[in-house]
Amino acid sequence: MTKSKDKSADVDRLDQKVNASPLEEQSRKDANFAEIESKLPERFSKSDMSFIDKGTSLLGTHNPFGKKANPKDNEVWVLNNTAYRPQKPGNDTLQPWEAEFVACFFRTGRKDITKTVSTIADLIGLDGKAGLDPETSKRMEERLRPFVQAIAPARTVEVVLPCSDGSSPPHKRHLGPSNQNGISSQILPTGGSADMDGKTITGESADGQFPALTFKTRFVEPHGWGIITDVDDTIKVTQTSSPTGLLKSTFADIPKTTEGMPEFYKVLEEAFGHPPWFYLSASPYNLYPFLHKFISEHYPEGTMILRDSSWMYLGGLLQSFTEGVKEYKTDRIEKIHSWLPQRQFICIGDSTQSDPESYAEIYAKYPDWIKAIYIRKVTDIPHMEAKNRNQRFIDCFKDVPDHCWRVFEKPQELAEHVKHLAGQAHSGVVGSVLGM
């Protein structure tokens, strides 16, 4: 039997009041976020919980009444993850591989969301006399559905991970029960030999119960480089400072990469020896399929860390992007540090949210852990005047050495800094790819 460490305390409680910072409050006011939120559909049904499910879901993975997810009634996702080898304090001996396994549970059953699609389309100016074109309507329905589906608390699923040498039966792992947000989060052994560094295995549901359920686990040794990156308006055009722009880019648009960033991330991937990537976003977990597909198509594969509240109403989506982002991100970066405390990290973000403040706070706590902070100054979306003031960055990074941080508009501006960071052995690769 495998032992797990219950991470239910890490999961945001449903409808928990999130405190916005003064900058977040002012930004929301300037862009009329509250007005747009008031026009969004009311709360959807949280779930068809039984009395036992509702009461015991608060126990997280300690719930003795968890039920095995049924393919006829449930949809289950397991997020890609990163396996690491922990060390005990004062002991240099590496422990067996383990990873955080995050599973998301929903109830199946299609609902008519035509009215919801129409409401969003009208708010973002797409539902005119001619109506929505079929392709846009299909995209909106697909992305909105995880917000409308009922969550499934107190559910479990069994997954299997292949043995690293292929000579032994696969390792079975029991995930769940899910908490009141329909999520389970546990640290579990992955198996794997000592030479697994850099390798990836693909897990799946046991006994083929959920054919579409697959996930990847990448194995990462304690030493080397790593990269933590924001998603929205850092590598993907999202317009997080505009409520209607955010809704349009999230639900209606074909997603667009930020100019120059796919090429820049290829540079970092090569220059730092294919490091582990952590995509840290304020997006709610309901957007995982959408964001996972986008990143897989344009950027290096990695572990995606999303907000784990179940925003079962669309106003919550806007709150997720605009309230309490600094606290959320610093908490999750602390988690990454607990996994890989001896690696050296590059942190990349932008000026639309609280990335500068989050990274500066983590640097102050772990100055030997973070070697560079890159902040994209976003100038191509509205309501950015206050967030782009130079004094904001000066104040934010007052305790971070000048050589450790850069604010940029185009990634080519970082070429010299990356060359220096990666070392002269890789400077030719970096310079040629960035056109420097």
pTM beyond cutoff 0.85: yes
Rounded to an integer, what distance in angstroms lies between the CA atom of residue 101 and that of residue 290?
19
Burial of 120 (0-12, 13-18, 19+ CB in 10 A): buried
Written as six digits, the tokens of 49 are 């919980």
Q: Where in the chain is the domain with CATH 3.40.50.1000?
A: 225-434
Q: E strand or H helix at 78, and its extent?
A: strand 74-78
Q: Which pLDDT value is given to residue 230? A: 98
Residue ranges for the chain with pLDDT beneath 50: 1-17, 129, 424-429, 436
CA proximity to 319, closest of 14, 44, 10, 53: 14
Q: Which pLDDT value is given to residue 147? A: 87
Q: Which pLDDT value is given to residue 117? A: 92
pLDDT in tens, 30-43: 999 999 999 988 77
CA proximity to 358, closest of 337, 379, 381, 385: 337
Residue 340 CB contacts under 8 Å (≥ 6 apart), including other chains: 84, 220, 222, 226, 276
Q: Which pLDDT value is given to residue 257? A: 98
- Listing DSSP states for 298-354 in one string gives HS---EEEEE-S---SHHHHHHHHHSSHHHHHHHHHHHHHHH-TTSEEEEEEETTTT
CATH code linked to domain 225-434: 3.40.50.1000
Give me the residues paired with residue 161 across strands.
171
Determine the distance from the C-alpha atom of residue 13 to the mean position of all C-alpha atoms in its chain, rounded to a whole number: 17
Q: Which pLDDT value is given to residue 207? A: 86
In the predicted model, what is the mean pLDDT of the chain?
Answer: 87
Q: Which pLDDT value is given to residue 423? A: 83
Rounded to an integer, what distance in angstroms lies between the CA atom of residue 405 and that of residue 400?
7
CA proximity to 155, closest of 11, 50, 3, 279: 50
